[in-house]
Amino acid sequence: MNLQHLIEQFISFQRSLGSSFVSDAAILRAFGRSLGSRASVAGVQVRHVDAFLGKARPVTRTWFTKLACLRCFFQYALSRGYLAKMPLPLTTPKRPPVFAPYIYTQQEIRRLLQVVDVHPRSVYLGPTTIRTMILLFYGSALRLREATNLTRADVDLHRSILTIRNTKFGKTRLVPVGPQLRQVLAQYERSLPNKGQPADTPFFVTTAAEPVKPNTFEYTFRILCDYAGIRRTDTREQPRIHDLRHTAAVHRLTFWYQRGADVQRLLHHLSVYLGHVHLRHTQVYLSMTPELLHEASKRFDSYARKEPGHA
């Protein structure tokens, strides 16, 4: 069986199950190209996999992502009789530490919004657009592309609902927004030119009325963080837009603890709001901060004191 043909068959199979399978498809196709168009599945050897993974390079999280993707593909090939055994390395290196997202403080978010009007003006993005997008990321915990893909029809301010289409997991979900965020979005909408645009017109546009590109906003956001003095010293990775999504989840959890809410029950609601398929995906976003740890400890202490035998 031709390797590249089976890869395409496997990609179609995964997508038939409802998975978008975009990044994994790119990995598998790159692997197929590395062996050439004439390579057969049965001819794949461990040395080919080692070469693709980059055995001599420092092992990163990407290395393990590629390995997991190849393992899934080879299991598929094995189950259909195209392989006698999986050509994977017998030993794997130690995993690198799990990346810890940056959790912005509320003071840092305020500083970000304050520097929007004083930082060197972006040629492509106006201050109103930048401010609205930052508040949207923090207020609704969207992913970057979920925000840049919004159309005017997706933003229903009458019902205070955003329609998020074709998400990371290939699903569409409805995201309610609170009154303050609704007011921010309405103010931005009033600033848009050409009110008679079609419903599929992008909601967030540049000064040239073009769709906001994710890399353009990422570049602008990095400049804003520098001007606001927001930097990390524990890693080379600097605070990202995506960390606003982590921050929104952590701040919400902290708020629930402070209000004495049933966090275990509400955690499921948060998972749906974030668009996660499994609850364990949400747990990744709930990175511990000193404030969150303090509130959780207070809750545990309160429960412990109610139990018989506790002082």
Residues identified as active-site: 143, 168, 242, 245, 276, 285
Rounded CA separation 189/47 (Å): 56
Long-range contacts of 288-295 (CB under 8 A, 24+ apart): 289/103, 289/250, 289/254, 291/254, 292/250, 292/253, 292/254, 292/257, 295/254, 295/257, 295/258
Tokens of 151: 């159309």
CB environment 186-196: b (16+ within 10 A), e (fewer): eebeeebeeee
Phi, psi of 119 (to 5 degrees): -75, 160
Q: Give the helix ranges, DSSP H, for the chain.
A: 3-16, 23-35, 46-53, 61-79, 106-115, 127-140, 144-148, 179-190, 214-228, 242-259, 263-274, 279-285, 290-306
Contact 41, 35 (CB under 8 A): no
Contact 1, 42 (CB under 8 A): yes
Phi, psi of 75 (to 5 degrees): -65, -40
The closest of 291, 305, 303 to 262, measured between CA atoms, is: 303
Collapsed DSSP state (helix, strand, coil) of residue 161: strand
